[in-house]
Amino acid sequence: MSVARDPALSTSLCAIPLRNPIIAASGTFAYGVEFASLLDLNALGGLVVKGLSREPIEGNPPPRVVEAQCGMINSIGLQNIGVHAFVEDKLPLLARLTTPVFVNVFGFTCEDYAEVVRVLEDYPGVAGYELNVSCPNTKHGGIYFSSDPALLGEVVTAARRVARRPLIVKLSPNVSAIEPFAQAAEAAGADAISLVNTFVALAIDARTRRSRIGAGFGGLSGPAIKPIALRLVYQAAQAVRIPVVGMGGIATGVDAAEFLIAGATAVEVGTATFWDPQSPIRIARELTGFLRREGISDVSRIVRTLEL
């Protein structure tokens, strides 16, 4: 028996069974099918495809990715093929998997989010949605949904009206306090929240005196952000009753255990897949080893057990 299928790791998220709590994160795992030759997709706890919009987006100018100390900075610009091409070209392959597939959804207005979800609702093979709210709302002067609890509530409400499947809301860490945003998502009908998204960052080339990223700023991810992400996951989990999915620098089974202890029901692995495409399965295996060493028979027994 594969340790990724170990009964001790079995859990659920929004009533969706997961064979283990390790989910491949959006943005670093393409549409999932591209990794089929590199690992067994059916050994994952789940996977989240990269963000989808109503229409295709070309993304930002290069360079888009730069290595940072203990992580990386990216500014992809939400490049994607659009929801209509996704349901025609990618979803039929994903629908064959036994692994739950979550679709990351974004837009520039509430109507954009609702329309992407509406299209997806007509197709099998989708377990739920993850709303990326770190996008500028063009109807409100470019403000980000993630920076105003009221606007966050509006976009979640819009998606909730058309979504029959579970809604996970992905929160930004670039706020002064996470609790109001977690609570706003819950009040608007979110079934779960996920956090954290990347931190706004800047990398400079001292010789040219220019940004190393084509678009200027980028998003910092990887092990460097883990201590802050853990704090935010703990605070969010204390503020809501709905499940929390934790992410931010997870590279080992012990990292995953720390997020679960902080209050997460499941975790997403992103940047680690850049240097180790099989990292989600490896992390599940390492999490099994941690549980065995600690004499813990069920992964759920460590969730929300942090004592400060």
**Confidence (pLDDT) at 141:** 76
> Any idea where the domains of the chain sit in the sequence?
3-60+78-199+221-302
Per the annotation, the verdict on 135 as an active-site residue is yes
Radius of gyration of the chain (CA): 18
* pLDDT for position 22: 98
Q: Which of 14, 70, 110, 135 is catalytic?
A: 135
- Write out pLDDT tens, residues 137-158: 777 777 789 999 999 999 999 9
- pTM given for the model: 0.96
Residue 9 exposure: Cα atoms within 13 Å on the Cβ side: 31
pLDDT for 65 beyond 70: yes
What's the rounded Cα separation, in Å, for the pair 149 and 195? Answer: 15
Q: Where residue 1 falls among pLDDT bands split at 50, 70, 90? A: very low
Share of the chain above pLDDT 70, in %: 98
Q: What is the pLDDT of residues 281-302, one digit of tens each?
A: 999 999 999 999 999 999 999 9
CATH code 3.20.20.70 for 3-60+78-199+221-302: yes
- At 195-217, the pLDDT tens digits run 999 999 999 999 999 999 999 99
Q: Do residues 214 and 208 touch, judged by C-beta distance below 8 A?
A: no
